[in-house]
């Protein structure tokens, strides 16, 4: 009966020319190497190695045997390594970084797609540093980072829109939008009850800059809830408006718990990227994650 371990040991001894080095490479003892070579010699009926002061020399029979088995053994080991890699990828812990504001709308969809996930919340720059330093495997970011050690894929686009609770009467506002009277439109918005997830309202300032060409909006947030998803959930059961990413509002809009107040054409879209460090073991997970995110953002 053919024992593949004999041939693995033979290959290592032949390559290293030394029983001790073969034992180190195979993580077995030197006596075990000697025993397996002796058993292979008994099996094939020929002496395979001649001992010398430092190591061993292959006999002519060993050279012939090596030529006959090396290709088949290499192919077998490649198959085995590939199988192990797939098994490793299927069961390993995956680490994913994402902004806390995008967890519910984007990252949570990955739960159930992989057996083990460790999520962490950070913003774009910090997420890039973590991926680049190989401290986490993946990141969902809204900024493109191109470096030698990372790969990124654009998975879709998102946009900031103004949404309101069901109790907000926006009939007059819709009429104002048709007039394109920015001063009156802004006045209507200033009079609303505002929810925000950031006391500094940087997202509101950016919206005002694009839409009204103003750096300083006059609105004063009534309620500051430091989680965009929780902010929208609370607002759905209250009265008010908020500026939010359309992906975060989607489930609330689909269930009619919130309504779109203004989706301004002047507000540009923002690309979403899946970021990963360069690691062959992550390729399969990257493709699966990429597909899930693309389906959400299509």
Q: Which residue, 278, 276, 281, is CA-closest to 86?
A: 281
Task: Give the whole-angstrom CA distance, residue 1 versus residue 3.
Answer: 6
**CATH dotted code for 160-262:** 3.40.190.10
Q: Write out the CATH class of domain 4-91.
A: mainly alpha
Which pairing describes strands 194-196 and 223-224: parallel, antiparallel, or unpaired? Answer: parallel
pTM: 0.68
Q: Which residue, 225, 236, 230, is CA-closest to 259?
A: 236
> Domain locations in the chain?
4-91, 93-155+271-297, 160-262
CATH among 3.30.450.40, 3.40.190.10, 3.40.630.10, 3.40.640.10 for 93-155+271-297: 3.40.190.10
List the pLDDT tens digit at each of the 298 positions of the chain: 567 788 888 888 999 999 999 888 888 889 999 999 999 888 888 899 998 888 899 999 889 888 888 887 778 777 666 655 555 555 578 899 999 999 999 999 999 998 889 999 999 999 999 999 889 999 999 999 878 889 999 999 999 999 999 999 989 999 999 998 999 999 999 999 999 999 999 999 999 999 999 888 999 999 999 999 999 999 999 999 999 999 999 999 999 999 999 999 999 999 999 999 888 788 889 999 999 999 999 8
């Amino acid at each position: 009966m053919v024992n593949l371990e004999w041939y693995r040991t033979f290959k290592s001894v032949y390559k290293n020319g030394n029983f001790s080095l073969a034992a180190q490479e195979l993580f077995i003892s030197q006596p075990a190497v000697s025993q397996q070579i002796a058993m292979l010699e008994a099996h094939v009926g020929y002496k395979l190695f001649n001992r010398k002061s430092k190591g061993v020399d292959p006999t002519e029979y060993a050279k012939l045997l090596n030529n006959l088995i090396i290709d088949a053994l290499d192919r077998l080991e490649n198959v085995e390594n590939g199988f192990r890699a797939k098994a490793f990828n299927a069961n390993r812990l995956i680490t994913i970084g994402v902004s806390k504001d995008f967890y519910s709308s984007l990252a949570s969809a990955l739960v159930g797609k992989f057996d083990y996930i460790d999520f962490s919340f950070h913003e774009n720059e910090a997420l890039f540093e973590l991926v680049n330093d190989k401290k986490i495997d993946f990141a969902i970011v809204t900024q493109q980072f191109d470096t030698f050690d990372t790969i990124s894929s654009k998975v879709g686009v998102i946009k900031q829109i103004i949404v309101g609770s069901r109790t907000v009467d926006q009939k007059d506002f819709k009429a104002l939008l048709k007039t394109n009277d920015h001063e009156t439109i802004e006045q209507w918005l200033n009079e609303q009850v505002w929810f925000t997830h950031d006391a500094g309202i940087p997202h509101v300032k950016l919206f005002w800059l694009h839409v009204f060409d103003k750096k300083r909006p006059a609105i004063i947030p009534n309620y500051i809830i430091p989680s965009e998803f929780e902010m929208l959930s609370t607002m759905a059961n209250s009265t008010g408006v908020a500026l939010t990413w359309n992906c975060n509002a989607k489930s609330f809009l689909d269930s009619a718990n919130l309504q779109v107040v203004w989706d301004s054409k002047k507000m540009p879209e923002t690309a979403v990227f899946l970021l990963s460090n360069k690691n062959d073991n992550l390729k399969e997970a990257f493709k699966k994650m990429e597909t899930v995110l693309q389906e959400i953002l299509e």
